[in-house]
Amino acid sequence: MTAATGGRSGRRPGSADTRGSILEAARTAFAASGYDATTIRAIATAAGVDPALVHHYFGTKEAVFVAALEFPFDPGTMVPTLLAGPREDLGERLVRLLLAIWADPAGREPVTALLRSAMTHEAAATMLREFLTRALVGRLAPMLDLADAELRAAVAGSHLVGLALVRYVVRVEPLASATDDEVVALVAPTIQRYLLG
Amino acid sequence: MTAATGGRSGRRPGSADTRGSILEAARTAFAASGYDATTIRAIATAAGVDPALVHHYFGTKEAVFVAALEFPFDPGTMVPTLLAGPREDLGERLVRLLLAIWADPAGREPVTALLRSAMTHEAAATMLREFLTRALVGRLAPMLDLADAELRAAVAGSHLVGLALVRYVVRVEPLASATDDEVVALVAPTIQRYLLG
């Protein structure tokens, strides 16, 4: 999201591992406890470093959060890939992508962290709003042909957010234990209808 | 939910007003800040009473939360009413009910409080899970004819939860500013299909 995330490229040898460990610990902590209940001290302990190092790399808790938020997927490349396949399978590809992200802890944790924090922290709510707006209204809607494409993309997104929340976070049965194929069979036609009419 | 909520009937004259003021302040506080960030002291201040009175009436913060959670609607009466009308309008009636609940602060605040708290507090997540399970799987699904009615009711519920979240809490445009009729036109056919096939 910012130049500060370039550490992964190895341009700052020796520090990339520590920085990466802190970010990994931060993602786990924000996902488990939400923004307010997570402390720099707790992140440092989980990462096995001194809290002063966390301050050194990031400055504030909010800066750690912004860096940790860096999703394992980028709407800028994800949406064109989704739209490159046959249009008649778009709904299914989108639902399967969501389920695949949730099946991988590296995908699930940053998204859970953002959902949790957005509920109680205005800065996180703004980030979630900006992420959804950028992904759905900014990227997806312009590729669709319908006059109300932006509203439709937002409604489709709201369904996917609710699905993730109720299936994975609140864990309402039998949705929590349903197979991916069962979920796709029900939800993919809905997303298809929202996005393609 | 429990006999303790009987105060509204006036059986305890003189105390019902104070108890009601505390619950109203608690609903507003939990909705604004979530469970963890809300203190008994803040609730007492907002209600204009001494914190000792809150302890006297409810004992613990969790007990205040449970009492404050008392929704302005009860699935036990709501679901039969919804199902009493023509089946071909069930999806629209359900979506309009959700929108009407959100249009009224007395409906919006306890639901927002529960959503916010469920994200970061395990007891609240359990309450939301139990509420959704009771309303959707326990009450709604048995009235439907489909073999996978419970999964369908849970998926429909996940869509409505996500809709409320993205429209009212995260406020993603253009969904946040769309009219009720625009939302109903898109979402009602989906809920109808989930519940009635």
Pick the residue from chain B with its C-alpha nearest to A135: B172
From B33, B150, B169, residue closest to A174, measured CB to CB? B150
In DSSP notation, B156-172 reads HHHHHHHHHIIIIIS--
Instruction: Quote the minimal CA–CA distance from A10 to chain B in Å.
Output: 35
The residue among A121, A156, A106, A159 whose CA lies nearest residue B119 is A121
Q: What is the pLDDT of residues B69-120, one digit of tens each?
A: 766 666 667 778 888 888 889 999 999 988 988 888 888 887 887 787 777 7
B174 to each of A133, A154, B40, how far by Cα in Å?
9, 7, 38
From B120, B137, B166, residue closest to A116, measured CB to CB? B120
pLDDT at residue A8 is higher than 50: no
Most confidently modeled range among A69-73, A129-133, B17-21:
B17-21
Establish if B178 touches chain A: CB-CB under 8 angstroms. Answer: yes
Q: A129: which chain B residues are within 8 Å (Cβ-Cβ)?
A: 170-172
Contact of B34 with B120, CB cutoff 8 Å: yes
Rg (CA), chain B: 18
CA distance A157 to A149: 12
Q: What is the pLDDT of residues A19-39, one digit of tens each?
A: 999 998 988 887 777 667 889
From B37, B160, B169, residue closest to A36, measured CB to CB? B37
The residue among B182, B180, B171 whose CA lies nearest residue A133 is B171
Pick the residue from chain B with its C-alpha nearest to A30: B120
Across the interface, whether the CB atoms of A182 and B151 are under 8 A apart is answered: yes
From A171, A174, A182, residue closest to B129, measured CB to CB? A171
Q: B170: which chain A residues are within 8 Å (Cβ-Cβ)?
A: 118, 125, 128-129, 132
Contact of A125 with A181, CB cutoff 8 Å: no
Across the interface, whether the CB atoms of B132 and A166 are under 8 A apart is answered: yes
Give the number of A-B residue pairs with CB atoms closer than 8 Å.
153
The residue among B141, B2, B171 whose CA lies nearest residue B70 is B2
What is the reported pLDDT for A185?
96
Selected residues 83-122 of chain B with any CB under 8 Å from a CB in chain A: 115-116, 118-120
Q: What is the DSSP letter of B2?
A: -
Average pLDDT over residues B56-68: 83
Tokens (6 digits) for B160: 């409505």
- Angle, CA A32 vertex, CA B160 and CA A42 arms, to 5°: 150
CA distance B60 to B47: 16
What is the reported pLDDT for B75?
63
CA distance B184 to B29: 30
Q: How far is CA B18 from the centre of its chain?
A: 23
CA distance B135 to B81: 13
Q: What is the pLDDT of residues A77-135, one digit of tens each?
A: 777 888 888 888 999 999 998 898 888 888 888 788 778 777 777 767 776 787 788 77
CA distance A80 to B193: 29
From B34, B152, B174, residue closest to A151, measured CB to CB? B174
3-state class of A153 per DSSP? Answer: helix
Selected residues 125-164 of chain B with any CB under 8 Å from a CB in chain A: 125, 128-129, 132-133, 136-137, 148, 150-152, 154-155, 157-163
Tokens (6 digits) for A14: 């020796």
Pick the residue from chain A with its C-alpha nearest to B184: A155
CA distance A110 to A57: 19
Contact of A129 with B172, CB cutoff 8 Å: yes
Place of tokens 């439907």: B144
CA distance A142 to A157: 15
ipTM of predicted complex: 0.73
| Mutation for A interface: B122, B134, B165, B172, most A CBs within 10 A | B172
CA distance A161 to A163: 5
From B119, B171, B183, residue closest to A115, measured CB to CB? B119
